Structure 1
Amino acid sequence: MVLAVVYFVLYQALSLAMVPFVSLAGEPGSASYVLIFFTVPILLGGLLLVAFGASVGWLRSLFARQSLGGRGWMWIAIVVVLLFNVLHLLSIDYGTAGIEYVLTWLLTGLFIGFAEEVLTRGYVVKIMREAGHREIAVALVSAGTFALLHAGNLLGGQSLLATGIQLVYTFFFGILMYLAMRVTRTLLAPVLLHASTDPSIFMHAQYPADGAIGAVANPGNFAVIIVGAVLVFFIRGRIAQGARSTS
């Protein structure tokens, strides 16, 4: 929690540092807006996390093949997230959005996926496992930490109701990201899944295309909540003492 709070404070400070450049940001639907208010802060936040990991010697083990695998049913998490991400990407008006806006969001999504997954499915999971906790606790704490990071959107003027709904969504999205990591045994899986999630959702919301695909994609967040709420009850396992010592 201390690690998450420190990261949150530093990230918010980096976001506030972008305020003097607001005149260069343009409209919310522009590439420059995304670059200044999303890309740069999350890139710098990711670099801070890399610096921290390097300072304590955790980076290599973080991206190594994990000793604890998963069950076949855990692939459901990957399929659900990937399905709605593809549907969102197929229901964007790319002609109106423009290539610069799309490429900027795709790059930003990669930074978001890396930073947020390294912190929550990387460092938080590593700390919890090495403390000897069961995997259900590991999943809940990593997902809870991930969700609470988004409470900071209240500082940006987002309503309490919208933030509350977002916290519920991000918690269960975090559960699915944990399952993706378990079944693939690598942190890269949730990083890439997460990297495709934010751009697809934000671009679809900003530049929705007409058609039936968009209507099917819209309930995606609720599907994530429902699937996550069901699958969390099946999480089992625990890292053996020998594996923790080796790590």
Structure 2
Amino acid sequence: MPDAASMSPWKRFWERGGGWKALLLVVVYYALYQGGGFVFLPLLQQVDPQSAAFVLVGTALPVLLGCVLLLVFGLSLGWLRELFGPQPIRGSWWMWIAVAAVLLFNILRFATIDYAEAGFDVVATWLLAGLFIGFAEEVLTRGYVVNLMRKAGHPEILVAVVSAALFAGLHSGNLLTGQPLFATLIQVGYTFGFGICMYLALRVTGNIIWPILLHATTDPSIFLQTAYPADGALTSIAGLGNIVVIIVGLVLLIFIRGRITAREGDPALASQPVPPITNAGV
């Protein structure tokens, strides 16, 4: 990898990492994403809110635009191979608890959707939108944010907290769309816990592809099961998923340990986690 002196100012700026740069990136992304959504607004006003076209135009296409912006950013820095390559710090067995909690309730929600009422086109469009959402939000927060925090040499518990907090902060913007304050606070709490679970999924699977896919099944299962719930006791159990994810995320957060350090004179990350603390994974 070239040394800092041979880098462009743009690449050198981001390679140094840092929490404030992670915040800057998320804020700029959010502004561009919201601005891009206005492009589709005239078309959105012409489609039925209950239709697959509404999901496509109102959710999938704006997020797809965000995916493109994130890929362009990664290409400009040469980070994509680093981002989608193996993680430089290993995970521990207990991190699978976070994966299991999210996956279990995704399966339960998908099992308690009234598919006849929803219709194939709506379900298929939500699955497509979920893939875009999973890619954009994971690449941004568990990809670039985590990378920036690690490049600055922050401990992994801070990496996890900042990536989850910025992820939750993205969803606080729903206040601007008229969502009630209480509902937004609940959503922020859930997305913080979910963000911790996705960080742990990143660690324990060793590749960002798996949190992307896990996330991609979460949003469609939530929206479809909320809008088209099937009758039965299992539906009520599936509805507990958000609470469980918050609890699992907050409890497992306290066990996160480790640190990635940069080699002297080399901005690339080195796999040098600190020794594990008793009863804690690295």
Assess same fold via TM > 0.5: yes
Alignment of 1:172-183 (within 5 A): 172-183=193-204
Query: Partner letter of residue 84 of structure 1?
Result: F
Contact conserved, 2:164 with 2:195, CA < 8 A, in 1? yes
CA distance in 2, matches of 1:228, 1:23: 38
Q: Greater helix share, 1 or 2?
A: 1
Partner of 2:237: 216
CA distance in 1, matches of 2:36, 2:152: 31
Pick aligned residue for 1:129 from 150, 153, 170: 150
Task: For 2:189, give the aligned amino acid.
Answer: V
- For 1:25 and 1:181, the matched residues in 2 are separated by 38
* Aligned partner (choices 11, 14, 18) of residue 40 of structure 2: 18
**Counterpart residue number, 1:116:** 137
**1:37 aligns with one of 44, 49, 58:** 58
Q: In structure 2, give the amino acid aligned to 1:57.
A: G
* TM-score, normalisation: structure 2: 0.85
Matches of 1:116 and 1:22 in 2, distance apart?
23
Q: Which amino acid aligns with 1:38?
A: T
1:72-116 CA-partner distances (Å, limit 9, x unpaired): 000000000000000000000001111100000000000000000
- Where in structure 1 are there 5+ consecutive unaligned residues? none
CA deviation string 1:43-95 (max 9, x = no partner):
00110000110011111100001120111000000000000000000000001
The count of residues paired between Structure 1 and Structure 2 equals 246
Q: Is the 8 A contact 1:24 1:32 kept in 2?
A: no
One-letter amino acid of the structure 1 residue matched with residue 113 of structure 2 = I
1:246: how far off?
Answer: 3.7
Question: Is residue 72 of structure 1 aligned with residue 89 of structure 2?
Answer: no
| Displaced runs of 4 or more, over 2 A | 22-25, 240-247
Matched AA of 2:108: L
Pairing 1:65-104 to 2, within 5 Å after superposition: 65-104=86-125
The structural deviation recorded for 1:211 is: 1.2
Task: Quote the Cα distance in structure 1 between the aligned partners of 2:47 and 2:97.
Answer: 39
The residue aligned with 1:234 is 255
Q: TM-score, normalised on structure 1?
A: 0.97
- CA-CA distance at 1:245 after TM superposition: 4.2
Shift of 1:19: 1.7
Identity of aligned pairs, percent? 57
The answer as to 2:214 corresponding to 1:193 is yes
Equivalent AA in structure 1 for residue 221 of structure 2? S
1:7 matched to which residue of 2? Answer: 29
RMSD between aligned residues = 1.2
Amino acid at match of 1:200: S
Q: Secondary structure at the match of 1:234?
A: coil
Secondary structure of the structure 2 residue equivalent to 1:66: coil
Q: Unpaired runs of 5+ in structure 2?
A: 1-22, 270-282
